[in-house]
A = this chain, B = another copy of it.
Amino acid sequence: MSYAKQKLKEEKVFKDPVHRYVHVRDVVIWDLIGTKEFQRLRRIRQLGTTYFTFHGAEHSRFNHSLGVYEIVRRIVDDIFRGRPEWNAEERLVSLCAALLHDVGHGPFSHSFEKVFGLDHEEYTKRIVLGDTDINRVLSKVSEDFPEQVAAVINKTYPNKLVVSLISSQIDADRMDYLQRDAYYTGVSYGHFDMERILRVIRPRAEQAVFKLSGMHAVEDYIMSRYQMYWQIYFHPVTRSAEVLLSKTLHRAKELYEQSYSFRQKPVHFASLFEGDCSLEEYVNLDESVVMFYFHVWQEEEDEILKDLCSRFMNRNLFKYIEFDPAAEQEKYAELEDLFRKAGIDPEYYLVHDSSSDLPYDFYRPGIESERQPIYLLMKDDETLQELSSRSDIVEAISGKRRTDHKLYFPVDVLRDESSNRTVKRRIRNILEIYRK
């Protein structure tokens, strides 16, 4: 029997708190889970620094990847199977893309991508196509199968229906992470009726659509997404930890470029610092490696690196106020100046960070991300209507971008009056830090 069709003698299951069980019958899927590149996802947290805010959020991308796979498996095996609009040949590529969609994530992805100009989607592609165990498994299916899987993940696959299962405004990826992140943090916001959504999802040429009778479940999903972004993903304390992380990497890079003599040389980071990280070096990175360096760098001589690492390890985070530097340029310049006068490098200790989200968008050609909207399938089983044209609630928030600006700084240093007392008082005045 062809490798693509091989089934395990007995179904394997993973106990999963979100989906109860994740079911695996295909040998290809089982083999992919066993690869070292996939197992590496166990060492990369799903929510980066969120565990500093919500201590339950310690789950990994391994966890989430299995969940996305399971949702796609249920859609194609339980709902799409046998429908004329669904091509059964697309089953395996859908499952593999679902499982592997996050495989290119590095440790603390956001910060790493920003500091080093990386792109996890690019690395996902390289892992799928390059000299890896994953590629070897996929190639056993057929020569061009790795290309197909990569195309689905990169949204260039010709069958847009398949792409939409993994990347759209309502896809298996989002449906899993909203529920999963809510479960592990313990918040109630991520709940929506996925069972109902799965019952009403239908295959169409350009994308998956949703029967009108499930509209309220879809609305609820959009609201969950909105709440999770502002309650969890953009939580200012989480971002404070990310600021520390970015600044630490930044500092280490700067020192490296200045040929600073590290006690613990950043061998695992060297190629990143040099802007030329090979596939092999990339997959060698995970969060335990990063944590190890941060751990030992607490003993470095450089005061800034040492301080930032120690703050990160011991959760001694920066405090914050609402502040948009673009709107208050003079004040910001004054603050930078005062920080310098107080002997605190504003480059590392006065940090602006912004978050921005567009909870749902209808189709606006030529504008911004050109997101594919969500379509509802009318009772005639043919006509499609765009979600926001039917839903008052979704219409109300469609296309509305919300942005939030914060300014981060080490309040403990600013309160320490053993030095630069006057300047620090002026700073505290501007930042409106009063004694608790």
Q: Are B17 and A184 in contact (CB under 8 A)?
A: yes
Question: Given A42-B315, A58-B60, A393-B393, list of 4 further CB < 8 A pairs?
Answer: A15-B55, A15-B187, A184-B184, A191-B191
A66 at interface by CB-CB < 8 Å: yes
Q: Chain B contacts of A295 at CB under 8 A?
A: 284, 286, 288-289
A220 at interface by CB-CB < 8 Å: yes
A307 at interface by CB-CB < 8 Å: no
Nearest CB of chain B from residue A106's CB, rounded to whole Å: 14
A13 at interface by CB-CB < 8 Å: yes
Q: Are A188 and B192 in contact (CB under 8 A)?
A: yes
Bitwise, A19-46 to B at CB < 8 A (1) or not (0) is: 0110000000000001110010011000
- What are 21 of the A-B contact pairs (CB < 8 Å)? A15-B185, A17-B183, A34-B314, A39-B314, A42-B51, A55-B66, A58-B59, A188-B193, A216-B227, A216-B230, A216-B231, A220-B223, A226-B393, A286-B291, A287-B288, A288-B288, A288-B291, A291-B292, A292-B292, A393-B393, A396-B397
Q: Are A55 and B62 in contact (CB under 8 A)?
A: yes
Nearest CB of chain B from residue A223's CB, rounded to whole Å: 5
Nearest CB of chain B from residue A322's CB, rounded to whole Å: 10
Q: Are A189 and B220 in contact (CB under 8 A)?
A: yes
A199 at interface by CB-CB < 8 Å: yes
Taking A286-B295, A292-B289 as contacts, is the C-beta distance between A63 and B59 under 8 angstroms? no
Give the size category of A's interface with B. 35 or more
A114 at interface by CB-CB < 8 Å: no
Cα distance, A188 to B313, chains bound together (Å): 34
Nearest CB of chain B from residue A49's CB, rounded to whole Å: 11
- State the oligomeric state as a number of copies: 4
Q: Are B16 and A56 in contact (CB under 8 A)?
A: yes
A219 at interface by CB-CB < 8 Å: yes
Interface residues of chain A, those whose CB is within 8 Å of chain B, are 9, 13-18, 20-21, 34-36, 39, 42-43, 51, 54-56, 58-60, 62-63, 66, 183-189, 191-193, 195, 199, 216, 219-220, 223, 226-227, 230-231, 284, 286-289, 291-292, 295, 313-316, 392-393, 396-397, 400, 402, 436
Cα distance, A284 to B310, chains bound together (Å): 12
Nearest CB of chain B from residue A422's CB, rounded to whole Å: 27
Q: Chain B contacts of A199 at CB under 8 A?
A: 13, 21
Q: Chain B contacts of A284 at CB under 8 A?
A: 295
Cα distance, A41 to B423, chains bound together (Å): 38
